[in-house]
Amino acid sequence: MKSHDRVAGKLKTSNSKPGKPGVARQPEASSGAAPPAKRAKTGTDRGAEKRFPGDKTGSAAKAGKPARSSRTRLSKAAIAEMFRRFREADPDPKTELEYVNPFTLLVAVVLSAQATDAGVNKATRALFKVADTPEKMVRLNEEGIREYIKTIGLYRNKARNVLELSRQLIANHGGNVPRDRAALEALPGVGRKTANVVLNVAFGEPTMAVDTHIFRVANRTGLSSGRTPLEVEEDLLRVIPSEYALHAHHWLILHGRYVCKARRPECPRCLIRDICLFEPKTQ
């Protein structure tokens, strides 16, 4: 059973009364900055008063100490319960990008900008069979790389970036992917989100790579009301309990991809429906 199936279906949903469908705004996956996220005009206070297991006061807004971020509308107790449920449903979530080592992971994440993981995997299965190291990628050259990834959006520019980052890894890092944010972001085609994914997946760092799914889920649930991916990242790193930090990125992205969808979130099968502050919820 896949990760998202476990997350979506293992636990019971709340008996909260659904409202009319609504969609929160979110940034494009490849955008460096997000447009202002709209808060629902109604339902925020009402949603904050919903009960959930572990809330000793009976109020998600009042349980425990106030949230550690002024942009976070959930209490510490509510946040802890949210991620406890995610972990219970899916203890060891994984990225859906296919890779064989840190280098192929880096390449896959670079290629995934404005593309689906499934589309990237389809192209890289053949590519990584012939070029799974920077040295082999350089020998393949730009034209050869393009032939493998031409089904992916922006493939010409991505092929150029993959070739150049491979050259830089050889010249500056002995052919290895550096475990350093600044060094990663200095590579062609690598921004903060890509660096966060590599640090998290390849090296086990508790980073938060905010893409369009995580941005949407964070703002809908009340984990953050940040207006940019960086603001949301900062909020999540502050408020998510350390015991959940390593896998939090994957839980949130899978939840956004398969349950808390952009056009019509599937609230009836959401395992955090009674905690989430998004209004109105779908039937």
Residues 116 and 156 in one domain: yes
Res 143: pLDDT: 96
pLDDT at 283: 73
Asked if 4 and 257 touch (Cβ cutoff 8 Å), the reply is: yes
Domain range for 187 is: 102-203
pLDDT tens digit string along 185-234?
A: 999 999 999 999 999 999 999 999 999 999 999 999 999 999 999 999 99
Q: CA quadruple 31, 34, 35, 41: dihedral positive or negative? A: positive
CATH number of the domain enclosing 110: 1.10.340.30
Q: 211, 235, 274, 281: which one is catalytic?
A: 211
Predicted local confidence at residue 281, as pLDDT: 84
Does residue 253 share a domain with residue 117?
Answer: no
Residue 278 in any domain: the answer is: no
Q: Name the active-site residue from 50, 158, 193, 281.
A: 193
In this prediction, residue 1 carries a pLDDT of 44
Question: How confident is the model at residue 16, as a pLDDT?
Answer: 38
List, for the chain, all residue ranges whose pLDDT scores fall below the cut of 70: 1-69
pLDDT at 282: 81
Q: Catalytic annotation on 193?
A: yes
Question: What is the chain's alpha carbon radius of gyration, rounded to the nearest angstrom?
Answer: 20
12 and 86 co-located in one domain: yes
